Structure 1
Amino acid sequence: MTGAVEPSVDGAPATPEDLTQVALVNYGAYTSFGVEQGGVRGLDLHLERLEAEAVELFGEPVGETRLREWMRSAVAGREACWLRVSLFSPEIGPRTPDWHGRPSVMTAASPPARPLADSVRLQVQTYAREAPHLKHVATFGLIRARRLARAAGFDDALFVDSEGYVSEGSLWNIGFISGDEVIWPQAPMLAGVAQALVQRGLGQSGLTGRTAPVHVDSLADFDGAFICNSATPACAVALIGDDAFATSPAMIDRLRDAWASNPVQPI
């Protein structure tokens, strides 16, 4: 087994033509996650995401049986890894956008991803992703946002709308803590799988959760904040703009336990 990324398309090794298409045409969607013991926490949610993206962006679902087969092939022989599953079509380009059908599926297995950080300092940026409900491949805005934040002395960017309501971050969702309750921002955003898994497991950790609008002017009202994505079940937020947070390490442990209470689902 090698640590290199090994892309395949529809279960076969990716060809130069496949890689050229993906490199040059920025139309598609994906999901990515850690694989452990031959399975995935929240696999059902990742499959639902891929099927919904396939229908919305290309016109037809891939089919869960095919997706599982190609995922199993991609991770075969690996104890643990990171798997990205992408949807694209060689028929679609800037001058040929009209094709409808079942998209091609690229799988790429690589070594396990490390968590983003132990704590983060966030710069507030007025920004919204195009089609925010999709995990699409148009990542220019996200990368630029992170670059700008880091150049300004922060770790990452937190997005708000023109009225100051919080949505999401560059690569993650955010939750705010009030006592034993987690408040998720109510705004157009990607419904993250890690966010859903934390929410599913909150009861196991003696916590509750709800969704509500969160304005940047109200951040001082919270006891803490955290970010989460598939590589980072819970990471404390130390600062948002000028607002410092003393997010309890014990609370971060409870949130991680909430995520971990979800079983590994076999591929």
Structure 2
Amino acid sequence: MRLLAQPRIEVNGRPPSAEQFPLPLVNHGHFTAMQVRGGRTRGLDLHLARLDGATRELFGDALDGDQVRNHIRHALGDDTPDASVRVYVYWPDGDDAASIVVTVRPPAPSPKSPQSLRSVGYQRPAAHIKHLGGFGQAYYGRQAVREGFDDALLTGHGGVIAESGIANIGFFDGTSVVWPDEPSLHGITMQLLEPRLPDIGIESRRGPVRLADVTGFEAVFITNSHGVAAVGRIDDMTLPTGHDVVEAAARLYESVPWDVI
């Protein structure tokens, strides 16, 4: 396999010109991110549903899933079976249809484990959409890294936890994984794990989780397109790591079938 020398970008299935690729200047749009291996990805139907739903909400129009798949396949070409792929959707002024941007980069490794998170008082607007213009989460994420953490943990009033800057977060209370019920993005990895956890004897539910409560959980972990990783520290609180539930969740995710793009 030949690794990409530089990122590959296509707009509507073609290399972009300066005129048709204003994405760096656009913040009204949305995207999805996936890991591709052998021309396949996990949860393809969920990615396509995410893109279609956000396009309907933001622009009042549907998005053809087959067209999205064709654009991804074209951008991957015959020489890049493994990659990190993002699909962006925005609507240029004056156009009568949305534009689909596909970026292809080298595949991402599994996330570092355990993770450390720095809590911040910030929640994403329209958090249910994986939207463009994520200055706030990027700002706090970079600030957290400068302070020696891996990412930011986004919280609301009273220290109610929502999500990390780039991942969902789950808390195991001994019988169930509790996913915070604050406004957040329901990530694809979370969507794949949540209905499967009962298959391995672990219940899953939504509920409030506060910073003051986190040391009472037996395990904490994050999920995103890179995989599943334990959380070993939030602010100055040390959390238990090495719990079987985190390893079980990681194995469960690894068992999810890959879908042909």
Query: TM class by shorter-chain length?
Result: over 0.9
Asked if 1:16 is matched to 2:44, the reply is no
Equivalents in 2 of 1:208, 1:180: separation in Å?
Answer: 6
C-alpha deviation, 1:57, in angstroms = 1.4
Decide which moves more: 71-80 or 181-190. 71-80
Q: Distance in 2 between matches of 1:112 and 1:56?
A: 30
Cα contact 1:201–1:262 (8 A) shared by 2 = no
Residue 116, structure 1, aligned to residue 111, structure 2:
yes
Say whether the 8 Å CA contact 1:173–1:229 is kept in structure 2: yes
Shift of 1:71: 1.5
Please give the residue correspondences for 1:1-267 in structure 2 after superposition, counting only pairs within 5 Å. 3=4, 4-19=6-21, 21-77=22-78, 78-91=80-93, 101-231=96-226, 233-267=227-261
- Separation (CA, whole Å) in 1 of partners of 2:156 and 2:217: 20
Q: In the TM superposition, what whole-angstrom CA distance separates every residue of 1:46-89 from its partner, at most 9, and x where no partner exists? A: 00000011111122112112111112212232221111100012
Counterpart of 2:149, as a letter, is F
Cα drift, residue 266 of structure 1: 1.4
CA RMSD of aligned residues (A): 1.7
Aligned AA (2:249): L
Q: Deviations over 1:137-192 (max 9, x none)?
A: 11211111012222333222111101221100100110001224211111101111
SS in 2 for 1:12: coil
Instruction: State the TM-score, normalized to the length of structure 2.
Output: 0.93
* CA contact 2:39–2:81 (8 Å) conserved in 1: yes
Determine if contact 1:59/1:102 at 8 Å carries over to the other structure. Answer: no
Q: C-alpha offsets along residues 185-229 of structure 1, whole Å, 9 cap, x if unaligned?
A: 111011110111121331343322111111112112200101110
Q: Which residue is equivalent to 1:94?
A: none
After TM superposition, the score normalised by the length of structure 1 is 0.91
Cα shift at 1:246: 1.1
Helix, strand or coil at the partner of 2:20: helix
* Aligned-pair CA distance for 1:117: 1.5
Unaligned runs of 5+ in 2: none
State the Cα deviation string for residues 13-32 of structure 1 (Å, max 9, x = none): 1122223x111222211001
The alpha-carbon distance between structure 1 residues 181 and 72, as it changes in their structure 2 partners (threshold 3 A), is same
How many percent identity over aligned positions? 32
The letter for the 1-side match of 2:58 is L
Unaligned runs of 5+ in 1: 92-98
Give aligned pairs, total: 258
Q: Which amino acid aligns with 1:148?
A: Q
